[in-house]
């Protein structure tokens, strides 16, 4: 996300965005895989924090 952490934070406020985090793209990668693959560790932390509320 090239330093666009505030944008990611806003997106993750949406229930739809939090649900889409659990989906996989065509090659089988999830958002979590892509965060690691492209070294977006701050985004990874935000994503993990946004999904931890429901125990998954």
Per-residue pLDDT tens digits for 7-29: 999 989 988 887 888 888 888 99
Q: What is the pLDDT of residue 38?
A: 92
17: its two tokens: 């965005």
Q: What is the pLDDT of residue 46?
A: 92
Total residues found in the chain within this entry: 56
Q: What is the pLDDT of residue 43?
A: 92
Q: What is the pLDDT of residue 5?
A: 92
Domain count, the chain: 1
pTM check: above 0.95: no
CA atoms of 49 and 52, how far apart (whole Å): 5
Contact 45, 6 (CB under 8 A): no
pLDDT at residue 55 greater than cutoff 90? no
Other beta carbons within 10 angstroms of residue 52's beta carbon come to: 9
Write the DSSP string, 1-38.
-TT-HHHHHHHTTSHHHHHHTT-B-TTS-BHHHHHHHT
- Domain span at 32: 5-54
């Amino acid at each position: 996300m090239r330093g666009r952490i505030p944008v990611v934070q806003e997106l993750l406020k949406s229930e739809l965005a939090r649900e889409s985090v659990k989906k996989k793209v065509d090659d089988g990668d999830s958002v979590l895989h892509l965060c690691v693959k492209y070294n977006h560790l701050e985004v990874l932390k935000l994503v993990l924090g946004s999904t931890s509320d429901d125990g998954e």
